[in-house]
Structure 1
Amino acid sequence: MLVDMVPEPNSSPTANGSGERPSRSAAFPRHLGHVTDRVDDILPFVTVPFALSVLEVEQIERALDPTTASINLEFSLPSPLLTLWDLVDPPEPSGADTQHVGPGASNGGQPGATTTGTDVSIDMPLETFFPALESSLLTVIGIAILVYAVMAGLVTAGYLGGIDRRLRDEPAAIGRCLSQYGPRLVLYHLLVFGAFLAMFPFALALPGLILLAIPVVLVLGYLFYAVPFLIVVADVSLVDAFRRSAQFGLQERAYFWFAIGHALVCAIASIVLSLLVTVGAGVGVLLALVVGPAFALLVTAATVSFVQELARTGDAGRVVRQ
């Protein structure tokens, strides 16, 4: 591995025009500014976070409920499919009823009985497509996870792949992105969903483990936030993407400061967007559905730009050739 100390071209976000090494702590604002300057090239991709936000019908209904109000503070690490509802979390309607169908739900533990009452529900992806089944429940859950992983993987492939190619001044070539990155990103989402599903029984059996798991999840989320981006930007295997992401997380200060900048900016955006939804009522929700996806596109594109730099240099101030 050879190291070339020649600075990057001035058109690159890694250069500051003076030949000096760019500040690692300014990694996020630097790349956010870079993609903002290229907004015309990536603007069509705003349809992805917009569509994903609109498809969350339950969230929209909760946001439109006049009896609820909330101000959110969401610190979000880089995500390949950031949407409005990752930044705004409308509360459940006051006195909302939830129904549970299953063995021993109520009525003296009668199997299949239905109970109605105030409760905390856990939203499962695509839950509306599958009825509550007492038999073959694991099969149903497995199918739901598989379908969701395929959908999420393909959307991620087209979305990140298109942004990556446009930032390189290449045609988006969505079909090529789907075939080239789709299988690995489907596998990535299956792995993530499977990991959370594997922890679920332990959380039910030992609720105290949830508190212990929070810092572990945060650390893992930090170390591996670049994985889906590396699959696209560097075109590496899933295993290599995990390895390189962890290496960046442990060795690159720019990787750390980018995550901090991303989390802080998302926190500020979550306050603004939640106020817009709460105060603006229906008009505010409509505005949030426009502003939120646009913001999500910019920070996601900034992450793509940053990972391009990491994959190209291995460090914020030097070029690495293999």
Structure 2
Amino acid sequence: MPTFTARLADGWKRTGENMSLILVPILLGVMQTDSIRQILAYDGVHIGVKFGVPASVVTIWQFVSLPGSGVTANTGLPLSAAFAMIIIPGVILLRAGLSAGYFGTIAAELLDRHEGFAMSALTYFVPFLVITALPYVVLVPLALGLFGFGSLGDEGAVLLLIPAFIAAGYLFWATPYLIVLRRTGLVAAARGSYKLAVDGGAYLSYTIGYVAFVFFASVITTAVVVNVPAVGIPFGILAGGFVGLTLNITTMRFVADIDPESPCAGEWPAQHRSDGAAVSKEEAAP
């Protein structure tokens, strides 16, 4: 199988052929105004790192460790009970539609399908709506203090949930990719992601490579975006759109390569073999 760096190079090249799609991670990056506000309100020097998996549209914020991060639902707006009940549904609907169109278009470009952004947004809207809403189902009640963790407080509650988030992130990050590759529903895609995850192998190796990439990239990204916000925020959001699209395209092709039920996204040239591994989908399948 190709190395992680070879896959990134391929994803970078394909991003140049699909530049219009960077508008989605850029727009979602701009929408996260709570993160922008938190950085602008910070007075000091901040160094940090982030970890992450490619479970959604990748934006600049996957690479930025926010100073003094609290418990928020990342709606991009001030969070109060009354206001949240009004604005969050609209945010969820918009993000779901953009994500469905984005992932569907990436898959269509890789597989030579005749599906535009609008068609993909309509076709895959329902499963992506569920995926988009799930974090809010957990985080919004927590941010509003509705879970009743008592003496633990918000920080204690978050610490309890961290292992569950890590496990879920690893087991199910391939779900949105499988939805559009297989043209299947959420449950079937989640089962497929779970199977790939527990089998380990290439899935585990790619996850480790991706997490390491985010970790090291976040050191520089955090330093620039947080400590030089006047330049770092606008530049980071724009650059994050390009890098995010590259990572999503790279991951889409990876999932297509290792999933036996997904269509083939093309064979890799022989020079991209690692330790003599097969490069065709048929040879790579277990």
Q: TM-score, normalised by structure 2?
A: 0.78
**Map of 1:193 onto structure 2:** 136
Q: Give the C-alpha shift of residue 290 in structure 1.
A: 2.4
Q: What is the percent sequence identity of the aligned residues?
A: 24
Rounded Cα–Cα distance in structure 2 between residues aligned with 1:230 and 1:184 = 11
Which residue among 123, 126, 129 is the counterpart of 2:72?
123
* Matching of residues 281-292 of structure 1 within 5 Å: 281-292=229-240
| Aligned partner letter, 1:282 | A
- 5 Å-filtered alignment, 1:37-116, equals 37-64=13-40, 67-91=43-67
Q: What is the CA distance between 1:247 and its match in structure 2?
A: 0.4
Structure 1 counterpart of 2:273: none
Contact 1:203 1:209 (8 Å CA) reproduced: no
Q: Residue in 2 aligned with 1:6?
A: none
**Distance (Å, rounded) in 1 between the aligned partners of 2:111 and 2:216:** 30
Aligned AA (1:174): F
Whether 2:204 is the aligned partner of 1:204: answer no
Change (3 A) 1:278 1:131: closer
Structure 2 counterpart of 1:319, one-letter code: E
Corresponding position: 1:160 with 2:160: no
Structure 2: unaligned runs, 5 residues or longer: 263-276
Instruction: Tell me by how many angstroms 1:149 deviates.
Output: 2.7
Question: How much is the aligned-residue C-alpha RMSD, in angstroms?
Answer: 3.1
Aligned CA distance change for structure 1 residues 227 and 195 (closer, same or farther; 3 Å): farther
The answer to whether residue 191 in structure 2 is matched with residue 238 in structure 1 is: no
Q: In structure 2, how many angstroms separate the alpha carbons of the residues matched to 1:278 and 1:127?
A: 17
User: Does 2:282 align with 1:319?
Assistant: yes
Unaligned runs of 5+ in 1: 1-21, 93-119, 134-139
1:155, distance to aligned residue in structure 2 (A) = 0.9
The CA deviation string for residues 20-51 of structure 1, in whole angstroms up to 9 with x for no partner, is xx26xx3x333222212222222211111111
| Partner AA of 2:220 in structure 1 | V
The one-letter code matched in structure 1 to 2:20 is P
Aligned mates of 2:200, 2:194 — CA distance in 1: 10
Write the deviation string for residues 252-282 of structure 1: whole angstroms up to 9, x where unpaired.
3111111111111011111111222245452
Separation (CA, whole Å) in 2 of partners of 1:319 and 1:145? 44
Distance in 2 separating the partners of 1:129 and 1:202: 20
Which structure 2 residues correspond to residues 142-157 of structure 1 after superposition, within 5 A?
144-157=87-100
The reply on whether 1:271 has 2:247 as its aligned counterpart is: no
Residues 14 and 249, structure 2, Cα contact 8 Å, conserved in 1 = no
CA gap of 1:131–1:283, structure 2 versus 1, over 3 A, is closer
The alignment's TM-score, normalised by the length of structure 1, stands at 0.70
CA separation in 2, counterparts of 1:121 and 1:213?
Answer: 14
Alpha-carbon separation, structure 1, partners of 2:72 and 2:100 = 25
Q: Distance in 1 between matches of 2:10 and 2:166?
A: 28
CA distance, structure 2, for counterparts of residue 70 and residue 257 of structure 1 = 31
For the residues of structure 1 that align with 2:204 and 2:51, how far apart are their CA atoms? 14
Contact 1:163 1:172 in 2 (8 A): no
Cα 1:215/1:278, change in 2 over 3 Å: closer
Q: Could you tell me how far apart the structure 1 residues matched to 2:257 and 2:211 are?
A: 20
Amino acid paired to 2:67: P
Amino acid at match of 1:290: L
Q: CA offsets per residue over residues 46-101 of structure 1, 9 Å max, x none?
A: 11111111223343344345723212210111122221122213425xxxxxxxxx
1:291 Cα deviation from its structure 2 partner: 1.9
Aligned residue for 1:213, secondary structure, equals helix
Kindly name which structure, 1 or 2, has the bigger radius of gyration based on alpha carbons: 1
Q: Structure 1, residues 132-163: CA drift from partner, whole Å, max 9, x if none?
A: 54xxxxxx756655433322211111111111
- Greater Cα offset, 55-64 or 242-251: 55-64
Q: CA deviation at 1:210?
A: 4.0
